[in-house]
Amino acid sequence: MPVGLNPDEHELLARIAYRSYVDARTQEQIAEEFALSRPKVGRLLERARATGVVDIHIDTPRGLDLDLEDRLAEAFGLRHAIVAPAAEGAAEQRTLVGRSAARYLERRLTDGVRVAVGHGRDLAALAGAFRGPAATGCVFVSAMGGSPLVDAPTNPNEIARALADASDGTAHSLYAPAYVADGQVRDQLRQQDAVGRVFDLAAEAALALVGIGGTDDGCTMVRSGCLSAAEIARLRARGAVGDVLGTYVDASGRAITAPHLERVMALSLEELRRIPAVVAVACGPEKPLAILGVLRAGIVDALVVDEPNARAVLELVVTDRAEGS
């Protein structure tokens, strides 16, 4: 199997590797046995690994592609990238992503951490799969208003509540709609003590948990009635590819300011950027561009996605680069 190695060398490498890996001898002992210097044994072992005489195989659970995760993390400077295995149906896919995200969040939480919580079906899936982590006393705060038009479990309040219940923590609900008529109403609302205080709590969270929304007509923002089909179309026309907490970005990660932005009742991109760690969750076939845009906005610290999206996003980066920036 190993090429470019003469038989004697191959044999020596195999012998030394055997002592090291099978018999668990120290390099010093091996050096003694083969009448070599200790560093020499170290180099031979390194060489055995490099030439494939020693083959280390990791039995990865079915569907888990760690290399893909690394490339994703590398491409966007993420601290963590979690890729959930591909699944057949949309619902199954969301379940898998939710589960992966839940496991990740459980590992990541430490005692008393405050978490700002966004909305969407992907976060709802996370909450559904969330089991008690080792950490206790975590505080989950809505980072966005709610909407009565969609399934309750996808609203931030419900998600925060579910997370708090599962982890023996506390939840802070935001009693405000996600979208209001105009900027003036929003500002008034935010001045309300019950609303403003929750926003302040969210803005100072140590961790934010957000979904990544698309700009198709079936996206959460439209389904929840925050935006009309005409409004989302206008956003698309302005280059919007996706949103985080109601703030839309274009494919290069720049926020689209006009004119809906002031009506959103949620943490802004700038507030999000000040939160030390932002965990984004996304899945679904309509999301690649949205994920690309949000990742390029540079606010995301960790990403949980399904495998098709992961591949698609990396593909987009490559084609983008090929076209020149």
Asked if 12 is part of the footprint of DNA (rule: CB under 7 A), the reply reads no
Asked if 27 is part of the footprint of DNA (rule: CB under 7 A), the reply reads yes
Residue pair 141/266 in contact (Cβ under 8 Å)? The answer is no
Asked if 40 is part of the footprint of a copy of itself (rule: CB under 8 A), the reply reads no
Q: Which is nearer to a copy of itself, 27 or 142 (CB)?
A: 27
Q: Which of a copy of itself, DNA, none does 107 bind, CB closer than 5 to 8 A by kind?
A: a copy of itself
Fill in the DSSP letter of residue 154: G
Asked if 10 is part of the footprint of a copy of itself (rule: CB under 8 A), the reply reads yes
Asked if 112 is part of the footprint of DNA (rule: CB under 7 A), the reply reads no
Residue pair 280/300 in contact (Cβ under 8 Å)? The answer is yes
φ and ψ of 278, to 5 deg: -115, 120
CA distances from 88 to 82, 160, 175, 305 (A): 19, 29, 37, 15
Per CB under 8 A, the segment of 102-110, 167-175, 182-190, 256-264 that binds a copy of itself is 102-110
Q: Which of a copy of itself, DNA, none does 60 bind, CB closer than 5 to 8 A by kind?
A: a copy of itself
Asked if 3 is part of the footprint of a copy of itself (rule: CB under 8 A), the reply reads no
Asked if 21 is part of the footprint of a copy of itself (rule: CB under 8 A), the reply reads yes
Asked if 323 is part of the footprint of a copy of itself (rule: CB under 8 A), the reply reads no
E-strand stretches of 165-286 = 170-172, 207-211, 240-244, 247-250, 277-282
Count CA within 13 A, CB hemisphere, residue 136: 1
Asked if 70 is part of the footprint of a copy of itself (rule: CB under 8 A), the reply reads yes
307 contact partners, CB below 8 Å, separation of at least 6:
63, 65, 68, 83, 84, 85, 86
Pick from 11, 33, 43, 66 the residue near DNA by CB under 7 A: 43
Q: Which of DNA, a copy of itself, none does 181 bind, CB closer than 5 to 8 A by kind?
A: none
Phi-psi region of 22 (alpha: psi -120 to 50; beta: other; left: phi over 0): alpha
Asked if 215 is part of the footprint of DNA (rule: CB under 7 A), the reply reads no
Q: Which of DNA, a copy of itself, none does 176 bind, CB closer than 5 to 8 A by kind?
A: none
Pick from 55, 92, 187, 200 the residue near a copy of itself by CB under 8 A: 55
Q: Which residue has the tokens 């896919």?
A: 93
* Residue closest to 211 by CA, chosen among 280, 259, 263: 280
Structure tokens of 308? Answer: 């098709």
Q: Which of DNA, a copy of itself, none does 237 bind, CB closer than 5 to 8 A by kind?
A: none
Find the helix packing angle between 156-167 and 121-129, rounded to 10°.
10
Query: C-beta of 314: minimal distance to a copy of itself in Å?
Result: 18
φ and ψ of 81, to 5 deg: -130, 125
In the three-class reduction of DSSP (H, G, I as helix; E, B as strand; rest coil), residue 245 is classed as: coil
Pick from 2, 42, 183, 253 the residue near DNA by CB under 7 A: 42
Asked if 34 is part of the footprint of a copy of itself (rule: CB under 8 A), the reply reads yes
Q: Which is nearer to a copy of itself, 14 or 251 (CB)?
A: 14
Per CB under 8 A, the segment of 14-22, 163-171, 223-231, 253-261 that binds a copy of itself is 14-22
Q: How many CB atoms lie within 10 A of CB 181?
A: 9
How far apart are the C-alpha atoms of 47 and 136, rounded to whole Å? 47
Rg (CA), the chain: 25
Asked if 45 is part of the footprint of DNA (rule: CB under 7 A), the reply reads yes
Q: Which residues bind DNA (CB under 7 A)?
A: 20, 26-28, 36-40, 42-43, 45-46
Q: Which residues bind a copy of itself (CB under 8 A)?
A: 1-2, 7-8, 10-11, 14-15, 17-18, 21-23, 33-35, 48, 52-61, 64, 66-67, 70, 80, 103, 107-108, 110
